Structure 1
Amino acid sequence: MRGLKDLKGQIDQFLKQKMSDDIDQDTLAASMEYSVNAGGKRLRPALTLITVQVLGGELTQDVMKAATALELLHTYSLIHDDLPAMDNDDLRRGQPTNHKKFGAGMATLAGDGLLTMAFQWVTDNQLPADVRANLALALAEAAGPFGMVAGQARDIEGEHERLSLEQLQYLHRQKTGALLRYAVLAGGIITEQNQVVKALLAQFGAQFGLAFQIYDDLMDVVGTTKKMGKAVHKDAGEHKNTYPGLLGVHGAQEQLHLVLRQAKNTQAALNEATKRDFSAYDQFLSYFKL
């Protein structure tokens, strides 16, 4: 069983080796690779790969390609999120954002390229045809107008409005949680699990995603630019709906602890349903340090 650090190295190496094969324009390639190779925790593909391993699957080149497709799609969302028409950020992972280096037009195209290449990678491999089809459908649902994109739209419309806790949770289940839910579910799709197990995997992913967003909101208040690799203390100034803004720092911390307890319960349910040891998820849950 590979640990998170080893998996990150394996993901980084795969992306660096394989991306250029599928890009046919030099400046576009530089722009796409700039953001993908800028670092990042690689939590999303790592969640898929850990889940595959726990469920007895092998990390073949085909599995790596299908899993790392999610990092391509995630990076597209970051590039577009940073654009002047969206959050207008100057820093991402401690480096100038894509549009600051390549211009807004090329950055937009880099995001477009990564989005479409992600679907190429989940289907252009030798996994069983029904696995590829199910991955593509689940990823489209998670990333599209019923998932992440819908959450981004709610986030834009919610500016200068005060959302309720229920509305904020719904927004973040789409905006951030949908891709993390998919990340865990994808491991179940690749290993062809039954519906009960896939439902539990999706539940854990959704809970991890909600915890991730609450933590990110908290770090915008109590974190530093050096630690986060991007500007902090922006949410309040931009009138964003956040957990600390709605509940205060202490209330947001309580919500985080509640969601993490729920995730631990789901982890235990997965142990029981599969008769396998999902303690490997602990290294992901340890990410949330206050």
Structure 2
Amino acid sequence: MWMYLGLLAALFLGLHNLAKKHAVQGNETFPVLLGTVLSGFIFIAGFYLYAILYPEKALQNGFVFQNINWQHHCFIFIKSGIMASSWILAYQALKHLPITIVTPIRSAGPFFTFIGAILIYKESPNLYQWIGFFLIIFSVILYSRIGKKEGIIFKRNKWIFAIIGATFLGASSGLYDKFLIQNLTLNPQTLQFWFCFYTILILIIILSITWFPFKEKRKAFKFRWTIIAVGILLQSADYFYFKALQDPEALIMLLSAIKRSQILIAVIVGGIIFKEKNKRKKLVPLIGIMLGVFLILYS
């Protein structure tokens, strides 16, 4: 069951990436990020309010929010700090790079998760899993060669380093999620509610320094409906992802890889919508990544 939940998470993540690209294109990045997290928080807060007003009905439908102590809050705050940093880097990179370059680099995330799963959680890969992960990394290298044809030199482009940093932090957060869900036994909605709450606080502090004081930046911000869509789609994806992690048999290395199937939506549909270059050539490493994911699932 956890694999099917992972595929649902991938579906919502793929749609989330398309909406995010539209939201940040030619826009101020930080307020867009704050708007997406805020809209996601309001979405989750609706269920939180429902659980308070109608506790019995909420319990029957599985909308239970746990009472947690200050230590749990500290652990969730750490996750918020990690993901806020990852999103800031990712949003800036997405604003300046094609989605057909950004998304495949993000697809290397399972490799970092793979290493962490071995070292931290002692998950044991087999031969097919090794081959699958190296296929993913090799395919990302192929993307770098295609990126040069679009004027994107990987070694000299700071946004490439930004998206690599975002990918590493995102993978670290994925490993941390397993600890929060399985070791601390937090349920998905409780984790999502407080995670969004603390992330909003962090982003407000950052915007108070980098955006709110500057009139020109405030005027440059354009509200788009996709800002709200990004928040709701991300929370939907996270819910299915966390539900999958609740299964004690779930392997974080495989779940992380399954989520990468979102790139089908981002590269194929996104390439058509945003009219990006070299779509056919990008299908070659895309197939490599998908083959790597298949080998992991097959194993």
Task: Give the alignment's TM-score, normalised by structure 2.
Answer: 0.32
- Relative contact order: is structure 1 or structure 2 higher (C-alpha 8 Å, sep ≥ 6)? 2
